[in-house]
Amino acid sequence: MNEITHEVPFKVNGTSITDIARDIYFFQHRENAALQILAQFEGLPLDTAYEIINGNAKLVSVDDGKNVKVVFEEDKEFKKQLTEVRENLKKQKEVVEEHQKVSLESRRGWEETDSMEQEIQKRTLIFINAFISRISIPIAYSDKMR
């Protein structure tokens, strides 16, 4: 098991720093901010920072919070939670996409209905105009003939 120890001038909770960096990386999508938090520990290589963020290592407080060390062990609970979050996000995305698809189809249906209604109204007006024309012409002639 590899360990890297870093001394800090104040007390630090390594687990909290690990959690904060992961939250910023995965849930706020701010990779640089997460890496900057971990970069505050001098000598912490970038690949180790990624190992911490991805749950393959973690920061642990030692010496009553005066030092922090990197412990390279898989954080199974974090990885399980991350997998669940990713699955939920995937399901949410699928639901949103399905809703958008249904919404688009219903809008198309309304557009078709609207155009059909407009066509019916147009044909009705043509019929009414034709009907009135046929009736009024003979009436007009019959009135004049009397």
- pLDDT at position 84 is 87
The pLDDT of residue 127: 65
Neighbours of 114 (CB within 10 A): 10
Higher pLDDT: 102 or 144? It is 102
Identify which of 25-29, 99-103, 128-132 has the greatest average pLDDT: 25-29
List the chain domain ranges.
3-74
Phi/psi for 72 (5° steps) reads -90, 90
- Take residue 130 and report the two structure tokens written for it: 């034709």
DSSP letter for 61, please: E
Sign of the CA dihedral 47, 62, 55, 72?
positive
| Torsion sign across C-alpha atoms 7, 10, 14, 20 | negative
Above 50 in pLDDT, residue 142? no
At 29-38, the pLDDT tens digits run 899 999 988 9
If pLDDT is split at 50, 70 and 90, which confidence band does 134 have? low
Q: Do 6 and 38 meet the contact criterion of CB atoms below 8 Å apart?
A: no
